[in-house]
Structure 1
Amino acid sequence: MKWVYPEFLFALLVLVIPILIHLFHFRKYKTIYFSSIAFVKSVEQQQKNPRKIKHLLILFARILAFTCLVIAFAQPYFPTSDTNKKDIRLIGVYIDNSFSMSRIGGQGELLAQAKELAGSIVDKAPRNTQYVLFTNELSGNEKQTLTKVKFVDQVAKVNYSPIYRSQEEILSYWNQWVEDAQKEGNIKSNPALVYISDFQKNNAIYSNKKFKYIPSVSPLLLVPQNTGNLYIDTIWFETPIQKLGSAQTLSIRVVNTGKEAIESAVVSVQIGKLKRDLFAELPSNGSDTVQLNYFNQEAGIAQGKIAINDKQMTRDDAFFFNYEVKKSSSVLIINGEDAVENVGIVFGLDDFYQIKEVSTNQASQENLEAVDLVVLNGLNQIPSNLSTELTAYHQEQGALLLIPGTNVSPGGWNALLNKLNLPTISGTQTVGLGIQKLNIKDPFFQGIFEGKPENISLPAVAKAYRLLSNSKTLSSNLINYQNGTPFFVKGTGKNNAYLFSTSLKPEFSTFTSNQLFSTLLLHAGNLSQRQNPSYLIIGSDGSYPINVNASSENPVHLKYGQIDYIPVIFTKNKRSYLSIQGLEAIRILEAGNYSISQDGKQSGILSTNYNRLESQTSESTGDEIKKSFEQAGIHVNTLSDGSHWNSASLLEIGENYDTWVWFVFFAGIFVLCEMALLIFYKK
């Protein structure tokens, strides 16, 4: 048997006092007048032996009661660890330090309460106990075992983290830690695990994965006073066209996870010099989308910030973004054997477009750099090298407008169309080619027609190529023939790609002389402006194109306020990208608009935001928490709601701490025995 607090055993010395009192107890004599002393002597002899027995029994009861009480305070236990391990006990403690733990609970912020609870656990454990403290970071630094002093010090350093971790990730980390420790011979048995969190539903386990090295867990549920949250979920533009002087609509979705509706939540929007306040009507557990209509009045990069005022989680109350308002857009026209000059003439009508025309054999990777739209004008053959370059260009946000010639080679064309996930060419057709239907509900036609188009003049088509879709096709028919086959197709993949099924030569159609021709070409050009992502998610996204000097020895810097971060730079298809993935970015970066600079020169803006998964506050109930652990094959010892964090010492972190309860029980039994002797024991 060993003791948690052996110093309490010195209190047993106090037992000497009642023993001495019993041994040197002097009776007080009282004079009683009797006619004969013989009567008194007889009475005394009759009561002497029972009285001695009564006093001894009372003394033993008192001694035993006090002894049991002292032993209970010393907290005895029977060690279960291997003797070669010197009876060192190990406890794993997980502290959820996500943003949802910044909410206010009964004892202040939930994270502060969690740290108090974790710190109080050391008061319960033996002095030679070691600890493993881990948070949502799950880094290599958190794999080390800690003494009591170092554990308390590390708990004090725990701070909020934007990292989102599921319950399965946390348990997988601890399960792997225990497995590795056992293989290395550092521990013999499975250590205890204390899991401190607010247990959001979106973190619960939904798979059937079992954790062999986690037989049990002691979960500690921290409950906020207000379970609701108000946050900006996402933003988007109604049209991708960002031209100088163009009209734009910014849509903002605001979410309310609370049980009470909010009639007029103020949404503050700032885009450059423009500042506006919008009002959102938010139902309980619902959302609202507010819109800002404005004009792009200045060219260049526009920086934006949207903010709301929420008293709960504050780190999701702001949303940062940026976009570029362009003065011009570049168009590269690759002319083939059956090219028509009308294509170049149409784009030349608008000063916004900077046009460059080349032949098929002049097209190269250098020509494709920084081009917004590439037009294949009347090509019959598409060489394999050009197909490869166009595919790489399209994957890097480049837009393509494909116009076939009069005698196309299906092999080269279909090789490119398959890579672009567009319908392939399968012969020609001459029947049922009257243009019948425009899919005006498609976003492509947004802003082209005022109201519903009626009596619109449509081109006549005498000959066209039949386009066939397959299982890999990702496209939408914008204009169809009477026979149901497509005339104009738009790819629905990540980047823009457009395909006409007919040549522009007069023997094929009168399309070039129709007003729809210039309308479709110019609108495709407007929608093909290259835009960098409006924002990235810290720790998750890592593909932001930048213009940097690859030969420079100086690194790229991201600067915002006091933050100066050097991101990871990589090259893909001869273009440079930066990444903000990984733990280092999460530790350093905050949500904001960062300047991208190299050699002291600014080359762009990067907007960053936190992951919104933590914003979806919805706590699991006690039964749901137990079920989630049991589904993973883990027994739940005791589930505490953490409402009285001073009771952390009552957590069931092992069988070694149950013995003291029995000594308290027997101390009470002996006290009752003493009382019974005093009351009922008679001569």
Structure 2
Amino acid sequence: MSFVYPSFLWGLLALAIPIIIHLFNFRRTKKIYFSNNQFLKNVKETTTSKLKVKHLLILLARLAFIAFLVLTFAQPYLPGENDDEAGSGENPLVYLYLDNSLSMSSELANGVRGIDQGVSFVDEIATYYPRNTQYKLLTNGFGSFSRVPKSGEELTDLVTNVSLTGVARGLDEVLQKIQGDVQLTGMQGNEIQRADVYLISDFQKSTIGEIQGSKLGEDTTLQVNLVPVQSSYQHNVFVDSMYLANPFMMAGQANELAVALRNEGGEAVENLIVRLLINEQQVGSGSVDINAYATNTVNFPLNFPLQQQNQCRVVFEDYPVTFDNEFFFTLNLGDKINVLEITSNLAATRVNSATNVARVYANESVFNFQSFSIDNLDYSLLDNTNLLILNEIEGGNQNASVLLPYIREFLEDEGHMVFILPSSGDVSFLSEVTQNTSLAAQRQTYTDSTGVRTVTLANPDLANPFFDNMFEGQADNFDMPFAVPLVNHNLPGSSLLRYKTGDPYLLSLRTPFTSGDQIFVFSTPLRQEFTSLYRHAIFVPVMYRLASMSKSLDVPLYYPMDENTITLEASRLLDSASREATGPRYLYKLRRDEQELIPTQRAVNGRLLMEVPQNILEAGFYELVRTEEAANAADSAVGLLSLSFNNTESESLVEPYTVDELQQQIEGIEGVSLYEADDVEGFTALMQSKNDQVALWKYALLLALASLLAEILLIRFL
């Protein structure tokens, strides 16, 4: 037997009061004078014996009345079979975790949404604890309300306001949050001896994580109860990924969007209609078949005019899991690509050495092209350069040595560089740039009896991602240009273009500063006496691809909801006047309809870093706006970019732990139990069998009244 208010048991000390009265009040004697007391002797002996019995019975009745009255206020009860100590103490504490991730929106076999059934479970739990029980409700947002204990009535009101969120939590995250709260409560002087924990979730394998080996059962002060809310549906189709054929969107240039869809189910999906909407206008649709547990791709050509910023959606129908049937992304046309060419000091005497490169990037609507001699170069230009072209730069001179640290810093900042080999075959400067002292090249004699020995370049390998969507069709034979085999070299890297002899002509090298290929090397000068490549049709798309790779999309097509930080180039967010150091300070916000969020933000090395407010964001489009930090600058908001956010992929992997799997996972873990119920009625029956407590205070009150009545009857009739 346990007590709701055990402190009232101190009232049992009041039992000493009638005992003291009995011991001292009835010992007092009173003398009565009679002329002859011989006739009273027998009467006296009989009355004294009778009075002793009466007084003892009255004492017992009074003691019973006080004892049962005290027990009534202490509210005794018999705990359920689940745990004799569950909910004990002056202020019993119960933790309730309600999984409100998007997967809980799935319809259950009884036609009820998972989140709604979870809310009903919470209400049922609150009815099986004493009225003084304190509850702490946790949802995936880990909101501030979880820090403050609630009464049963407050809990009922609070849980009705729980809504779905794109944030998912793992089992360890939830347990760590609860354990941290228990420790904090203990540090505040309210040490918790025992607390019940109810985890109400669909227990998705992709989000809940491994149960064996988790924190489950680590804290012996917690009695953990797993309450699965399981849908009968275990298949789903969702967008796995999407990408552009050319990651840099340029105005007027055709592109292609590839959307990869994944079938997370045991049955194949046929003729799934996928629609593409741009700025709320349907611009394309496609049909796709997806095998069981497989991925397939549907492609949408982007060969029509686009706005500078375009809000796009991919939409399809997949029942019954519908929360991920819409995928948001943004197509932002890129700014101009900054191309800087540095030529040798002999460029003026070499016909077409610079102009062949300059002609490629003459389109001012796409490129900002500048060309300087190495003897007349402003090194600060490298700060805003995307593609750096070193045209026949040789090592060993003073200007090259001065330029070297600037180029290394440029590459460390993920810049891209094209190195055009000089006619001397000197690779010493390239060796210094890459810090690879083993690079070597030996000049070959390229003249023969006919005057010049040339070799035709081989057809490009169209399977190489570098040539994706560069050519229409899949032609096997190209009329390829020629090039002189100028040098024998040991440059490491992968060949993008080769001689027909198999020797590399255009190579991509990986630098020691980053993990990607950032340096591209032409094995001859781009001049008439060494190659005809600069006159060939393949030259322009190759150089365009090199430029577009140097400026990949700085704003991704979309951000997942679990992204911690987003990074944006500050140069894209400010105009030239706003970049001045003496200008006003700016604050960046995310705006959607009437909702406005101010993320934690900081500027680092010319980039804006913003922490994603995961607990507040919803899937969809948000406008990034800039305002001045001044208090009176509320009307100075400037729209900058459209950003899109999508729910995490893990939420779409709807396969849960089955009840049998959960039982197997928790087997042998102390302090953990499983509630298996398909509906609220079944859960109610489980709560009654495991946690139903028999309240005894009513019986104690009746016994107290009976004792009082017995005392009255004893005094009146005995």
> TM-score with structure 2 length normalisation?
0.70
Q: State how far apart, in whole Å, the 1-side matches of 2:477 and 2:116 are.
A: 62
Match of 1:98 in 2: 101
The one-letter code matched in structure 2 to 1:604 is L
Output aligned runs, 1:320-359, within 5 Å: 320-325=328-333, 329-337=337-345, 341-349=352-360, 350-351=362-363, 352-359=366-373
Provide the residue aligned with 2:300 in structure 1: 292
Indicate if the aligned counterparts of 2:2 and 2:78 stay in contact, CA closer than 8 A: yes
- Give the aligned partner of residue 577 of structure 1: 608
Matched, 1:147 2:151: yes
| The 10-residue stretch of structure 1 (266-275 or 118-127) with the greater mean CA deviation from structure 2 | 266-275
Correspondence for 1:367: 381
Give the one of 136, 141, 157 matched to 1:137: 141
Instruction: Name the counterpart of 1:544.
Output: 568
Matches within 5 A, 1:23-422: 75-77=77-79, 86-105=89-108, 106=110, 108-139=112-143, 141-182=145-186, 184-206=188-210, 208-211=213-216, 212-213=218-219, 216-240=223-247, 242-272=249-279, 275-298=283-306, 300-325=308-333, 329-337=337-345, 341-349=352-360, 350-351=362-363, 352-360=366-374, 366-368=380-382, 370-381=384-395, 386=403, 389-390=406-407, 393-394=410-411, 398-405=415-422, 413-414=430-431, 416-417=433-434
Q: Deviations over 1:315-355 (max 9, x none)?
A: 32222222334585432112244656534433424524432
Deviation (angstroms), 1:649? 6.5
Percent sequence identity is 19
Query: Which among 439, 458, 464 is matched to residue 482 of structure 2?
Result: 458
Q: Is the CA contact 2:92–2:134 (under 8 Å) kept in the aligned structure 1?
A: yes
Residue 525 of structure 1 aligns with which residue? 547
AA in 1 matched with 2:497: I
State the match for 1:489 in structure 2.
507
1:626 counterpart = 2:657 = no
Q: Secondary structure in 1 aligned to 2:615?
A: helix
Question: In 2, are the aligned partners of 1:2 and 1:76 still within 8 Å (CA)?
Answer: yes
- Separation in structure 2 between the aligned mates of residue 513 and residue 97 of structure 1, nearest angstrom: 60
1:586 aligned to 2:622? no
Code of the aligned partner of 1:354? N
Tell me the equivalent position of 2:597.
565
CA distance in 1, matches of 2:444, 2:150: 81
Q: Contact between 2:135 and 2:152, CA under 8 Å: does it hold in 1?
A: yes
CA distance 1:277–1:406, shift in 2 (3 Å): closer
Cα separation, 1, equivalents of 2:255 and 2:291 = 27
* Change in 2 beyond 3 A, CA 1:149/1:292: same
> What's 1:602 paired with?
639
Which deviations, in whole Å up to 9, do the C-alpha atoms of 1:424-459 show, x marking residues without a partner?
752223579978765442121234555123563331
Say which SS state the counterpart of residue 269 (structure 1) adopts: strand
8 Å contact 1:233–1:254 — kept in the other structure? yes
The aligned residue for residue 428 of structure 1 is: 441
Match of 1:52 in 2: none
Change (3 A) 1:427 1:398: closer
Residue identity opposite 1:622 in structure 2: V
Bigger mean CA deviation after superposition, 189-198 or 518-527: 518-527
Structure 1 stretches of 5 or more lacking a match?
A: 7-70, 469-474, 662-683
Cα distance in 1 for residues equivalent to 2:596 and 2:185: 38
Residue 498 of structure 1: aligned partner: 519
Report the Cα distance in structure 2 between the residues aligned to 1:578 and 1:87, rounded to whole angstroms: 49
Post-superposition CA distance 1:563-589 (Å, at most 9, x none):
22233433232x2324252xx343144
Figure out how many residues of one structure are paired with residues of the other and give that number: 580
Query: Which secondary structure does the structure 1 equivalent of 2:175 belong to?
Result: helix
Q: Does the residue aligned with 2:490 lie in a helix, a strand or coil? A: strand
Report SS of the residue matched to 2:546: helix
- Deviation of the 1:230 alpha carbon: 3.4
For the 8 Å contact 2:392–2:422, the answer to whether it is kept is: yes
Q: Distance in 1 between matches of 2:291 and 2:89?
A: 60
Matched, 1:638 2:674: yes
Contact kept in structure 1, 2:86 and 2:194, CA below 8 Å? no
For the 8 Å contact 1:333–1:344, the answer to whether it is kept is no
Contact preservation (8 Å) 2:486, 2:524: no
Q: Distance in 1 between matches of 2:485 and 2:656?
A: 62
Q: Normalising to structure 1: TM-score of the pair?
A: 0.73
Asked if the contact 2:424/2:443 (under 8 Å) is kept, the reply is no
| Structure 1 residue 296 displacement after superposition | 3.5
SS in 1 for 2:601: strand
Selected match of 2:495 from 468, 477, 480: 477
The 1:221–1:335 alpha-carbon spacing in structure 2 relative to 1, beyond 3 Å, is: same
2:165 and 2:618 in contact (8 A); partners too:
no
Secondary structure of the corresponding residue to residue 463 of structure 2: coil
Larger CA deviation: 226-235 vs 121-130 = 226-235
CA distance in 2, matches of 1:557, 1:304: 21
Q: Which moved more, 1:112-121 or 1:208-217?
A: 208-217
Q: Deviations over 1:542-576 (max 9, x none)?
A: 11334134643452233232222233433232x23
What is the identity, as a one-letter code, of the residue corresponding to 1:147? S
Say if 1:506 and 1:270 are closer, same or farther in 2 by CA, change over 3 A: closer
Q: CA RMSD in A?
A: 4.1
Aligned to 1:44: none
Q: Per the alignment, do residues 290 and 525 of structure 1 end up closer, same or farther by CA in structure 2, a change over 3 Å counting? A: same
Q: In the alignment, is the contact (CA less than 8 A) between 1:547 and 1:576 conserved in 2?
A: no
Alpha carbons 1:346, 1:522 under 8 Å: kept: no
> Partners of 2:240 and 2:462 in 1: how far apart?
30
